[in-house]
Amino acid sequence: MAGKSGKKCTHVIFDLDGLMLDTEIIYTRVTQELLEPYGKLFDWSVKTKMMGRSNLEAARVLVGELELPFTAEEFLKMSGEKLLEQFPTAALLPGVERLVYHFHKHNVPFAVATGSASKGYNAKITNHKDLFQLISHVVTSDDPELKHPKPAPDIFLLASQRFSMPPASPDYVLVFEDAPNGVAAASAAGMNVVMVPDKRVDLAKCSQADLVLNSLEEFDPVSWGFPPFE
């Protein structure tokens, strides 16, 4: 499978949460702890609406959906320290390590575009710095040049522009995402999207993805114009 218009891809951009790192369990645990005093349940119907958004946008969804007696900003302040304490425990998801080392070995330029703020990003990669230092660059949600968060295409376009040798056009870029909002953002940017959704995601929300996988372990680099696994 080549990229859009039959072109082979030359550059790669990864999402972070739920795609490279298993942070879902951490967010769920901390959020539920904070909701318990109010008798609220942080279930999948709410989580799925928050996926792929910036921290502030996700918090606004949470507060609105559950009619919580505090603002999104107040929630972020309450959850912030707890999350930062637990983020270093985030594990790599299946297939990530192999794929990153493969792209690095074959000089495929790759970056990360994440809804995480820089402080959160640095905490999440604490125990995986050897791997993440191979990444060309990272665009976080608090980047001063980022105007609009996902599902707007801005973050992927910005990440693409920052490669030392940018792709000839957006359709030479392959994006890996797990959330519908992220897929919509990459698609709006004119890029190719491989989606690895949570098993609970409604497949109808995956229609904008060029390919849907159960795990990055299933990814075949050759079909997108990259060198084969050895």
Nearest to 187 by CA among 52, 43, 17: 52
Preceding amide of 151 cis, omega within 30: yes
Q: Give the separation between CA 147 and CA 216, rounded to whole angstroms.
A: 30
Q: Across-strand partners of 195? A: 177, 212
CB distance 149 to 15 below 8 Å: no
15 is catalytic: yes
- What are phi and psi for residue 110, nearest 5 degrees? -145, 150
Q: What residue has token string 């703020």?
A: 117
Q: How many helices (H) and strands (E) does the chain have?
A: 9, 8
Q: Which amino acid is at 50?
A: M
Angle in degrees, 0-180, between the axes of helices 72-86 and 24-35, rounded to the nearest 10: 130
Please state, as a whole number, how many other Cβ atoms lie within 10 Å of the Cβ of residue 163.
17
* Active-site residue, from 17, 143, 154, 210: 17
Q: Give the separation between CA 206 and CA 197, rounded to whole angstroms.
A: 8
CA dihedral 141→147→151→154, nearest 10 degrees, is: -100
Q: Active-site positions? A: 15, 17
